[in-house]
Amino acid sequence: MQETRKGMLLVISGPSGTGKGTLVERLLQDDPSFEFSVSCTTRKCRTNEIPDVHYHFIDDEHYDKLLAEDAFLEHATVHGHRYGTLKSEVYEKMEQGKNVVLDIDPQGARTVMSKDPSCVSIFVLPPSYSELRKRLHTRNTEDEEEISKRLFNARGEVQQMHLYQYLLVNDELTVSMNLLKQIVQAEKLKSCRYFPIIGE
Ligand code: ADP
Ligand code: 5GP
């Protein structure tokens, strides 16, 4: 049997420290049909991050230039830093038939949902705010002030969860990963993006 598939745009949001990056990394490892949209950001590179793999780390001047060139599909200021999804990261990959995953905040997700209503959207929740605090401390990539800011902003982000098609409470990682795979499997079979050609 022959088949063609249209690429899926998968939007994942959730409070900082909830486990989005961990889930996305595993999805990319397990499913080669997915590619990550590497965002631009003006925040500093963490010691565990690789430039142009996790983010394109750029300065304000470069960011302003990209804004002026209308290079962003969406952009937002999050926790005091600027972040943007490049159109080129998304469209070029989708044209090659790839599924593309975006790890972006609810402001950016709203823009993407309105520009591409066929996108798949998932909001990842922590099991509790105390667990979220614990995960941010365990990750050990932000100082106390930055962690407090992210925990404060988490409440506002969680209020927007019903904008999303799917909600995933990331308690036990293996369970969450299986749920994510089930969402992806079902979405891949939707008739808007799956075109099997049945032989005689
Ligand atoms: P985000 O990308 O949402 O900011 P990360 O993926 O960086 O979050 O995860 C934050 C921390 O929580 C990391 O140290 C990660 O290993 C850990 N973590 C992720 N998922 C779980 C989980 N289900 N249970 C416990 N710890 C987790
Ligand atoms: P972090 O600094 O922890 O990597 O990310 C902070 C927040 O910025 C997270 O909510 C993440 O989803 C969001 N983010 C990362 N890249 C983008 C982007 O390109 N656009 C938007 N709107 N948010 C982003």
Tell me the pLDDT tens digit for each residue of 8-48: 999 999 999 999 999 999 999 999 999 999 999 999 999 98
pLDDT at 96: 84
Task: Name all residues whose Cβ lies below 6 A of ligand 2.
Answer: 13, 16, 39, 43, 74, 76, 78-79, 83-85, 103-105, 107-108
From ligand 2's centre to the CA of 157, what distance in Å?
12
pLDDT at 95: 83
CA-closest residue to ligand 2 atom 23: 104
The β-bridge relationship of strands 81-86 and 39-41 is antiparallel
Task: Kindly state the percentage of the chain with pLDDT values over 90.
Answer: 94
pLDDT digits (tens, 9 = 90+) for 148-167: 999 999 999 999 999 999 99
Residue 99 token pair = 């599924």
Instruction: Kindly report whether the global pTM for this prediction surpasses the value 0.85.
Output: yes
pLDDT digits (tens, 9 = 90+) for 79-119: 999 999 999 999 988 888 899 999 999 999 999 999 999 99
Among 11, 12, 13, 22, the mutation site with the greatest number of ligand 1 atoms within 8 A of its Cβ is 22
Give the number of whichever ligand sits closest to the CA of residue 55. Answer: 2
Residue 167 to residue 164: CA distance in whole angstroms? 7
Give the number of whichever ligand sits closest to the CA of residue 139. Answer: 1
Name 23's Cβ contacts closer than 8 Å, sequence gap at least 6.
12, 124, 168, 170, 173, 176, 177, 180
C-beta neighbour count of 121 within 10 angstroms: 19
Task: Name all residues whose Cβ lies below 6 A of ligand 1.
Answer: 14, 16-22, 135, 138-139, 170, 173, 176
